Chains A and B, each alone.
Chain A
Amino acid sequence: MERIGLAPGGKTGEVLAQDIAQKFPQLVTITKATHNRLYAKVDKAALVPLCSYMKDNLDFEHVTCVGGVDWLEEKKMQVVYHITSYANKVTAELVVDLPRDQPEVDSITPLWGGANWHERETWDMFGIVFVGHPKLERLLNPAGTEVFPFRKDFVSGRRV
Chain B
Amino acid sequence: MAEMWLNMGPQHPMTHGLWNLRVKVDGETMTEAEPVIGYLHRGWEKITENRKFTQIIPMADRLCYGASMSWSHLYCLTMENLMEVEVPERAKWIRTIVLEAQRIGSHLMWLAALGTDLGSYTVFLYPVRERELFLDLMQNLCGARMTYNYPRIGGVRNDVPANFERDFTRVLNHFEKRLTDYEALCDQSTIFRMRMEDVGYLSAEKAKNLGVTGPNLRGSGVDYDVRRDDPYEMYDQVDWKVCVEKTCDAYARYRVKMDEMRESCNIIRQCIKRMKPGAIRVKPPRTAPKGKTGWAHVEDPRGEGFMYVIGNGDDRPYRLKVRSPIFVTVSAAPEMLVGYKIADVPAIMGSVDMCLGETDR
Contacts and interface: CB of A to CB of B under 8 A. Distances in A.
B41 A65 contact: no
B331 A116 contact: yes
Interface of B is mostly: mixed
Contacts of B231: 4-5
A114 B43 contact: no
Interface in A21-70: 36, 61-65, 67, 69-70
Nearest to B206: A113
A149 B328 contact: no
Contacts, number: 94
Contact of A117 (B49, B229, B327): B327
B310 A149 contact: no
A141 B208 contact: no
Given A5-B229, A80-B321, A82-B295, A113 B210 contact: yes
B230 interface: yes
A114 B304 CA distance: 13
Given A80-B308, A93-B295, A141-B38, A65 B229 contact: no
B222 interface: yes
Contacts of B360: 140
25 contacts: A5-B229, A61-B208, A62-B208, A62-B213, A63-B211, A64-B297, A67-B323, A69-B310, A82-B297, A82-B308, A86-B208, A89-B229, A89-B230, A91-B297, A113-B332, A114-B209, A114-B212, A114-B328, A121-B327, A140-B41, A149-B46, A150-B43, A150-B45, A156-B49, A156-B50
B55 to A, nearest CB: 15
A149 B331 contact: no
B209 to A, nearest CB: 5
Contact of A149 (B43, B304, B332): B43
Interface in B231-251: 231, 236
Nearest to A156: B46
B228 interface: yes
Q: How large is the interface on B (under 10, 10 to 19, 20 to 34, 35 or more residues)?
A: 35 or more
A133 B146 CA distance: 39
Contacts of B206: 113
B319 interface: yes
B328 A140 contact: no
A117 B19 CA distance: 15
A62 B224 CA distance: 11
Nearest to B361: A140
Contact of A156 (B43, B228, B306): B43
B186 interface: no
Interface in A103-160: 112-118, 121, 125, 138-142, 149-150, 156
A139 to B, nearest CB: 6
Given A36-B230, A141-B41, A67 B211 contact: no
Contacts of B308: 65, 67, 80, 82
A117 B324 CA distance: 11
Contact of A113 (B37, B211, B213, B297): B211
A114 B46 contact: no
Contacts of B211: 62-64, 112-115
B210 A114 contact: yes
Given A117-B331, A118-B328, A69 B319 contact: yes
Given A89-B230, A112-B209, A113-B210, A65 B332 contact: no
A117 B43 CA distance: 16
A125 B310 CA distance: 17
Contacts of B38: 138-142
Interface string B295-327: 101000000101010100000001101010001
B209 A113 contact: yes
Contact of B306 (A64, A70, A125): A64
B7 to A, nearest CB: 15
A86 B297 CA distance: 14
A53 B12 CA distance: 44
Contacts of B209: 61, 112-114
A130 to B, nearest CB: 15
A117 B45 contact: no
Contact of A64 (B236, B304, B361): B304
A93 B50 CA distance: 26
Interface string B201-221: 000001011111100000000
B150 to A, nearest CB: 25
A100 to B, nearest CB: 15
Interface in A63-93: 63-65, 67, 69-70, 80, 82, 86, 89, 91, 93
B152 to A, nearest CB: 25
A61 B304 CA distance: 14
Q: Which are the 9 A-B pairs with shortest beta-carbon distances?
A: A114-B211, A67-B321, A65-B323, A140-B38, A117-B331, A113-B210, A140-B41, A61-B208, A4-B236
